[in-house]
Chains A and B, each alone.
Chain A
Amino acid sequence: MIEKNSALVENAIKEYYFNHFDLICVPPKISQREFGYQKINGGMIRHVAIKDIKELHLLLMQETPSDVYCSNAYYSFPNMPMSEKDWKGADLIFDIDAKDLALPCRNDHSVSRCSACNDVILGKQNVCTKCGSTKSETVSVTCKNCIEESKKEVKKLVRILVDDLGIKNEEIEVYFSGNEGFHVRAINSNYEVLGSQERADLVDYIMFNGAIPETFGIKKQNNSKSTLPEMGELGWRGRAALALFGSKSKAPKVSRQVILDGYSAFQIRLEGMRQTIGARVDPKVTMDIHRVFRLEGSINSKSGFSKIKCENLDSFDPFLNACLLGEEKVDIVANCPVSIRLKNKKYGPYANERTSVPKYTAVYMICKGLASVI
């Protein structure tokens, strides 16, 4: 990021941590967590131990990091190298990212930015029309549909955590990730000791990966004697029954057909159901027991939005609730082929235009690489 831009972003972030430090929610056992942070244009600094919330405030004010992370794990010695930290346990964490959901709207709000000449074009392009370079970066402008679809995945996940895994609602916290998705943290002592391998199987459960027809009563041999689960059953059997039958009245007819179709056909049905009834989380995040995860309440430098708690997911609007940077006007040159709507006001599209916008809008476009300070 060029200096003028980074100065503006850094200033906006500093102001945010000065005015809104109360929005930072450090998970319990702060002194046993590993913190990490990045400065604009800088590398990742990890293995930082923080004694208490005051020390964290000081760090944020002194360093103005563009991104702050905190481990899901707790250690005896969080500031030591990984092999000497003495891992004690880790919260269950989940990342739901709209970019993993293969939504049809993605093309409408993804732009290609040439790495050589910075030219921006809507959609994907392999070769830059302006300079001929083949290197480009895809940037996605956050979209309402992506957010709404991600919310559906969050709801599926929370249902599974509560109904199947016995985690209480009050032990689950949902946060907007600060860019295009949601982060979920579950703090429950039963699960904190699980290692990476166990979490991998847990994540397969949540995503409905690896289910076999036998689990749903479909037999390889003697298939005519198969009996399918009922809609009222708990867990995956019940959810699969609901997905198969749709309604109770259709159950007998569909059931006969499903059994008639046989084992292999059911396997294909299961594969199809994975997309609809499984919660589509990023498995790598949940499996990682040493991850530093974006700190709740901190700024995400991919957008300038805050990773903010969603008290009411249905009514949560990131373009309003997570947009918390300063409001004073900034003059920029914007090259943003997609219009954006922040705090109920529409900006753009802009084609290399000079404009004056509130600081939060300027930071958003600069973070996406779609504008520059004059």
Chain B
Amino acid sequence: MKRNVLQPGIMDLAKYPFLAEAGDYLRDKGFNLEQLGHPDWAPLVEKAYGRIVVASSGQIYGSELERLENADMEILSFIVAVILLKAAGIHTLTRRFSLAEARRAEKYLQQDLWSSKDKKNLDLPLKIIQELFGVQVTVENDEFVIKVADYLQRAVHFHEKEWKLVNRRVQHGFVYLTAHETVRLIRTELGQYINSKIQSITLPAIPDTFKVRVQDLVLLASKFSDAPVVSSDYPPCVKHAIEVLEKGENLPHSGRFLLATYLLARGQTTDQIAPLFKNAPDYNERITRYQLEHISGSSGKGTKYQCPSCNKLRSENLCFAIPACDGIINPIQFGKKRGKTND
């Protein structure tokens, strides 16, 4: 990012501490790591640790930005949290922290966009969006306007129907959004941006006062293990594909691909899958095996093909969604319940 373009103030840096200017600001004020290791700064390390703990539980860390004297602590606690995470080196924790921090920043971005009458406020969030993510946003009568292609590249990752382009106001190559939607659109990228910033820093020698909390983070991370429960039931799209084949009707190539990739992902072998296609009107054992092996990655270039997304299946008229499909974006997720264990 270019310096002196955004020129954010200290309050802005407290809201968006991941901006490169935040580091510059602290350096200019003369802070260094050695100094922060002094016992006097213990509350700061606690605050930073707390920031990670809150994030790891899926919550958004709330700042006390009303009081300006806290701004330095807000910026510093973010930086120290990043150092603690880097030292602990646990990706799950870093990812959760990045996402939570992105959602925190999202709140402020939205507020800043919302008060769009005040041009000063609007400049910074729009520039953050443009310079960090290359998305140009303009304002037209209280609406935020972005190019269709920029919209699609982000919105396809959401599976709620209202994010489909067809449910948006689209004119002359632009999509019209509210402040909330504009910011929601870049949340994932913001998370990835923060994550990649953490990944890219080189860790300095850390003070001893930090080390205890690094140990605690390792302990904390061990608590987060997801235990997926796999149901034996197939999703309706896969059931449909099997039924079509059983009836001896023609299943289009895309349907066969779905069936093969789905069953392979569920751990079946090509030997187990091949007989399913026996009823197809154009069945040829040799070709079926060749194609299954190709899809599974055991022949050809070794690329293992993934099961197509629900979105793609909908476009191909292969989706027969039932209520149990709510909230999934790929047939593979069907019937998997995520049970969290807390011990």
Contact = CB atoms under 8 A, between A and B. Distances in A.
A285 to B, nearest CB: 12
B123 interface: no
B32 interface: no
Interface in B80-109: none
B147 A190 contact: yes
A190 B170 CA distance: 15
Contact of B173 (A190, A214, A237): A190
Given A201-B164, A211-B166, A166 B316 contact: no
B171 A235 contact: yes
A200 B316 CA distance: 9
A206 to B, nearest CB: 9
Given A164-B172, A210-B161, A198 B152 contact: yes
Interface residues of B, number: 29
B161 A212 contact: yes
Nearest to A84: B301
B117 interface: no
Contacts of A208: 166
Given A201-B311, A212-B167, A236-B166, A284 B254 contact: yes
A283 B156 CA distance: 16
B314 interface: yes
A197 B162 CA distance: 17
Contacts of A209: 166, 314-315
Nearest to B174: A166
Contacts of B315: 200-201, 203-204, 209, 283, 287
B170 A205 contact: yes
A210 B167 contact: yes
Interface string B35-74: 0000000000000000000000000000000000000000
Contacts of A292: none
A40 interface: no
B156 A198 contact: yes
Nearest to A199: B152
Contact of A198 (B153, B162, B171, B316): B153
B155 interface: yes
B171 A234 contact: yes
A245 interface: no
User: A interface, by DSSP: helix, strand, loop or mixed?
Assistant: helix
Nearest to A278: B166
B173 A200 contact: no
The listed residue with most A CB atoms (<10 A of its CB), out of B149, B155, B172, is B149
Given A203-B315, A212-B162, A215-B167, A166 B148 contact: yes
Nearest to A233: B169
B148 A201 contact: no
A234 B168 CA distance: 11
Given A201-B155, A284-B254, A190 B167 contact: no
Contact of A205 (B153, B162, B166, B314): B166
A202 B153 CA distance: 11
B312 interface: yes
A94 B301 CA distance: 29
A155 B256 CA distance: 33
A163 interface: yes
Given A201-B155, A201-B311, A205-B165, A235 B170 contact: yes
Nearest to B149: A190
B173 A204 contact: no
Given A198-B153, A210-B161, A284 B166 contact: no
A354 to B, nearest CB: 35
Contacts of B147: 190
A234 to B, nearest CB: 5
Nearest to B254: A284
Interface in B290-325: 301, 303, 309, 311-312, 314-316
Contacts of B148: 165-166, 190-191, 202
A205 B152 CA distance: 11
A259 B99 CA distance: 41
Given A191-B149, A283-B316, A284-B254, A201 B301 contact: no
Contact of A164 (B170, B303, B316): B170
Nearest to B157: A197
Interface in A176-230: 190-191, 193-198, 200-205, 208-212, 214-215
A45 to B, nearest CB: 18
Interface in B136-180: 147-149, 152-153, 155-156, 161-162, 164-174
Nearest to A236: B166
Contacts of B166: 204-205, 208-211, 215, 236
B297 to A, nearest CB: 12
Contacts of A164: 170-173
A201 B152 contact: yes
Interface in A139-182: 163-167
Nearest to B152: A198
B165 A81 contact: no
Contacts of A194: 149, 152-153
Contacts of B174: 166
A288 to B, nearest CB: 11
A208 B303 CA distance: 34
Nearest to A196: B312
A41 interface: no
Nearest to B156: A197
- Give the top 10 A-B pairs by smallest Cβ distance, nearest first: A166-B173, A198-B152, A205-B165, A215-B167, A166-B172, A200-B315, A205-B166, A197-B156, A190-B149, A210-B164
Given A201-B156, A210-B167, A211-B167, 19 more contacts: A81-B301, A164-B170, A190-B148, A197-B309, A197-B311, A198-B156, A200-B156, A200-B312, A201-B152, A202-B148, A202-B165, A215-B167, A215-B168, A234-B171, A236-B166, A236-B170, A237-B169, A284-B254, A287-B315
Interface of A: 81-83, 163-167, 190-191, 193-198, 200-205, 208-212, 214-215, 234-237, 283-284, 287
23 contacts: A83-B301, A163-B172, A165-B148, A166-B174, A197-B309, A198-B149, A198-B153, A200-B311, A201-B155, A202-B152, A202-B165, A204-B164, A204-B166, A209-B166, A209-B315, A210-B161, A210-B167, A211-B164, A212-B161, A215-B167, A235-B170, A235-B171, A236-B170
